[in-house]
Amino acid sequence: MISALAPNGSVYGSQPEKAGEIVRTVDEIGPSRLQNNHFVVHISEGENAKERTNHRISIVRYLSDLNVNNAQEGYAKVDIYDKAVENMLGGISNDGLKLGTMILSGDTMVYTSDGTLNQLSPEESKPFTSRAPNHTAGNNQIMRMNWNGQPYLISSTINTVTGWTVIHYIPVAQITDTFLSNTLNYVFISILALIAALALAFFFHRYFIHPILKLSGSMKIVDSEHLAHTVIQSNREDEIGRLINSYNAMIYRIKTSRESEITASSLQKKAELKMLQSQINPHFLYNTLNAIHSISELHRMDHISTMTKSLSSIYRYNIKYGDVVTVGKELEQVEHYIQIQQIRFFNKFQVEYNIDDDVLDCKIIKFLIQPIIENSFYHGLEPKGGTGVLRLTIKRRRQFLYISVYDNGIGIPEEKLTELRAMLKQDEYTLVEDLDRNFGMRNVHARIKHFYGASCWMNVISEEQAGTTIMMHIPFNKEVSTHENFSSR
């Protein structure tokens, strides 16, 4: 509150109802004291016994009007209540701590943040006032004292303007309790942080590190060439899941490649063994057949002569030529085989050829057609009995060679036909694992797949008691060299 006492005796104030108190305050201080000081800080008598809300400090200044003869006197007063002092000094007694602040003017207590201390008698407040520092203004002192059986830490300093002593005090137990409380809080937070770190580490290990370690261990097993238990099960869709799926796909390809390699190696060994077995004294057998043919001609046994000559040609074709021959050369051996069968069945079967001239130079694998012709005789025409028709068709269709063998024999039962068609869908490695069943068909189909690739095919169309047609579709690869004429078709 601000109030003023004019030279004419008039009183003015921010609170008119209390402005008149300036007169009493000036009287208590004394005009001479006010004239001799820049300003005077005053606590009205009896203020220590008042309620905390009304306790105030008064700052009074002497005023003189130099423009008036016989200068008249005036006074200005500023009242500061405890609440304003708390705002300036930071009284914190209401925040749960026991930290307090007091202000002493000499031995008189001007202010305390704990309102109860304002009501203490000088004897009761003597432990505080007696500790007022005896040092230069502005310096700070820290000391320890006991009051009401409780130790306190006190920090005091002297204000350079007012000359008042400002004392901050706090019970030592409060410091100890706060320290223990904060320490327990830090320990608790540290334990929670440690648990959170361990949980996070466990999560990262389980979700990231463990799958990678498992993948690394599986790779080490693969390095030792053990592929039996190297597939890792994972339903993840992130980068690690894609890495595991790629690894599983790679292992599958390696297994498939190894199995194919093992199968191919086994087939190669079997083929080499059969080749070695078939080469046992081949010239002796060939010369024996020629001897039989000569004796048959000598004794005019035409059928025996024709059969031995055809068989000798087929045998020579088998051991002399490579794996790839022309269609014309293959047809010569087909003719030799049909001559043998016609003698055997007394020419009961009619053989028809439907072959384009421009396919005779086309290169095909050896014994591609003869096994199918043989299959038609033994499984179609012979069981039928009576006469029959065999038709061989070879045509060029754009960049492919179309081969068809038809017979009007007994046909193939539906169950057997389904089995054959399923067999024709197998790869070449599966086909050769069981050559005892349908040897001719399996052999030809396996060699087509192995030599020409998966794009080439073989198919069977049959109806019971109506006949069977076997078709092949292979690339057309024409040979430049001159072919031997096939004119007897």
Q: Measured on CA atoms in the order 231, 233, 235, 236, is the torsion positive or negative?
A: negative
* Own/partner pairs, 197-204, CB within 8 angstroms, 24+ separation: none
Q: Which of 6, 7, 43, 48 is nearest to 25 (CA)?
A: 43
Give percent above pLDDT 70 in the chain.
74
pLDDT digits (tens, 9 = 90+) for 417-430: 988 888 888 765 55
192-224: pLDDT as tens digits: 999 999 999 998 888 888 888 887 777 777 776
**What one-character DSSP code corresponds to residue 205?**
I
Instruction: Return all residues near 83 (Cβ < 8 A) that are at least 6 apart.
Output: 53
pLDDT (0 to 100) of residue 351: 92
Q: Does pLDDT of 97 surpass 60? A: no
Q: What is the pLDDT of residue 55?
A: 67
The pLDDT of residue 327? 93
Mean pLDDT of 145-167: 79
The confidence score (pLDDT) of residue 469 equals 95
Is pLDDT at 254 greater than 70 in this prediction?
Answer: yes
Q: Is residue 328's pLDDT more than 80?
A: yes
pLDDT, one tens digit per residue, over 167-189 is 888 888 888 888 898 999 999 99
Query: Which residue blocks in 14-55 are alpha helix, DSSP H?
Result: 16-19, 21-29, 31-35
Sign of CA dihedral 393, 342, 345, 368: negative
Q: Please give the pLDDT value at position 480.
A: 40
Q: Give the position of tokens 């009401």.
A: 148
Looking at mean pLDDT, say which of 68-77, 142-151, 216-225, 405-414 comes out highest: 405-414
The pLDDT score that the predictor gives to residue 114 is 65
Higher pLDDT, 422 or 94: 422
**pLDDT for 435 beyond 60:** no
User: Residue written as tokens 């077995």?
Assistant: 277
**Averaged over 64-83, what is the pLDDT?**
71
Q: What is the mean pLDDT of the chain?
A: 77
The average pLDDT across 408-435 equals 78
The predicted pLDDT at position 69 comes to: 55
- Higher-pLDDT residue of 135 and 58 is 58
- Give, rounded to a whole angstrom, the gap between the first and last alpha carbons of the chain: 138
Does the pLDDT of residue 235 top 80, yes or no? no
For 91, phi then psi, to 5°, come to -60, 125
Average pLDDT score over residue span 309-326: 80
pLDDT of the residue at 486: 43
Q: How far is CA 375 from CA 216, 367, 407, 419, 469, in A?
A: 55, 13, 10, 16, 11
**Helix extents (H) in 30-81:** 31-35
- Tell whether the model's pLDDT for residue 326 goes beyond 90: yes
* Cβ proximity of 308 and 466 under 8 Å: no
| Of 319, 309, 316, the residue nearest 289 (C-alpha) | 309
Backbone angles phi, psi at 132, to 5 degrees: -55, 130
Each residue's pLDDT tens digit, 32-55? 887 777 777 777 655 444 454 566
Q: How confident is the model at residue 259 (pLDDT cuts 50, 70, 90)?
A: confident
